[in-house]
Chains A and B, each alone.
Chain A
Amino acid sequence: MNTLLQGELVRLVAANAEKDAELLARWSRDSEYARQLDSDPARPQSVKHAKEDIQKWMENESPDNFGFMIRTLADDRLIGFIGLDGIRWTHGDTFVGIGIGDPEYRGNGYGTDAMRVILHFAFTELNLHRVSLDVFEYNPRAIRSYEKAGFVVEGRQRQALNRDGRRWDVIYMGILREDWERQQGR
């Protein structure tokens, strides 16, 4: 029971706006990271703004959002965030968002591990029916990570992004409870 929010490499913990904002603001200066996170224009975030964001999305008890910081098990280092956002309880559907802000921890399984933890949380604690995400065509590493965690591609919004002078698709992925259970051997 105590391992609900713990994986093999990371654990998910509550955000702490006072302590974490400075690091998040530093990550936001990495435009490659910012462009992978969302489709808004990349823009460095002030510490004050980062603090407000954490308070709004993570440091609250909204029943429709569950946001966590990702810390390594090995040395309790803050490396990113993950959260379920806009849960639609009547349909059992939610979107998930993840960012590994610390570049040294990208491509080493930390994000995939965090995703597995939050899927377990979504299906066994929140009892949701599906988890959804969207990801950008120019981020193949993230797509591979999501596939490893069990997501399948459900379609692509053509040319929905315009970056560096060309258009890219937004790829929609989803995992159903039954996909997840099969994968767990349940």
Chain B
Amino acid sequence: MNTQLFEGELIRLTQPDPDRDAEIESKWTHDVEYMRLLSADPVRPLSPTLIKKKHEEAEKEKAAHRYYFAIRTRADDRLVGFVRLDHIEWNNGASQVTLGIGDPNDRGHGYGAEALKLILHYAFAELNLHRVTADTPAYNERALRFLERAGFVVEVRRRQAVHRVGRRWDVIKLGLLREEYKP
């Protein structure tokens, strides 16, 4: 039994530490490209104070339906991103995953792939969920490839659901079932 749920080779998943991390997370929210890849919400830079407040609110409100982890490098304990499972429906065994590597220089090193592997293992082997959903605007081709490599299958194409810079894009929802998951 692999009981090291939070340790990868390059990174580890840790609890968030807003006092320490808010400055860096605030910087990420100023990166328009990152924010647009991450979500369909309008881009809005957040101050460290606001970031801390959002962390606190999320903890309070949704603790039982949400697992949030900071991604840190093992080599130097540096914050490089976050991953979370939320919208958990315990009765249906369903959940949604979201992952971001904040600084473009930290992308392409395998941090995200390892974090995804850990969170999927956590979802299926610790939380005993039945499926994990992910969604992304169609313009984030890298995210699509990344998810498909991990075994996710395209399930839904919400036509023209995102409007960015004068163009409409589909939102693509992908799913991974417990039986399809390969540790």
Binding site for B on A (CB under 8 A): 39-41, 88, 90-93, 129-130, 132, 154-162, 167, 172, 174, 176
Contact = CB atoms under 8 A, between A and B. Distances in A.
B161 interface: yes
B24 interface: no
Given A129-B168, A155-B157, A158-B131, A91 B94 contact: no
A133 B111 CA distance: 35
B131 A159 contact: yes
28 contacts: A39-B91, A39-B92, A91-B40, A91-B161, A91-B163, A92-B163, A93-B158, A129-B160, A129-B163, A130-B160, A130-B161, A132-B158, A154-B157, A156-B155, A156-B156, A157-B131, A158-B175, A159-B130, A160-B92, A160-B131, A162-B93, A167-B130, A172-B158, A172-B173, A174-B158, A174-B159, A176-B159, A176-B160
A154 B156 contact: yes
Nearest to B153: A158
A128 B157 CA distance: 19
Contacts of A39: 89, 91-92, 94
Residue among A156, A162, A176 with the most chain B CB within 10 A? A162
Contacts, number: 74
A161 B131 CA distance: 10
Interface in B42-64: 42
Interface string B125-152: 0000011010000000000000000000
B158 A160 contact: no
Contacts of B156: 154-157, 172
Interface string B167-183: 01000010101000000
The B interface, classified by DSSP as helix, strand, loop or mixed, is: strand
Contacts of B37: none
Given A160-B92, A160-B94, A172-B156, A93 B131 contact: no
Given A91-B161, A154-B156, A158-B153, 12 more contacts: A41-B91, A129-B168, A130-B158, A130-B159, A132-B161, A154-B159, A155-B155, A155-B157, A155-B173, A158-B175, A160-B94, A160-B131
B: contact size bracket:
20 to 34
B162 interface: yes
Contacts of B158: 93, 130, 132, 154-155, 172, 174
A31 B140 CA distance: 41
A7 to B, nearest CB: 26
B117 to A, nearest CB: 22
Nearest to B163: A91
Nearest to A152: B159
Contact of B175 (A41, A93, A157): A157
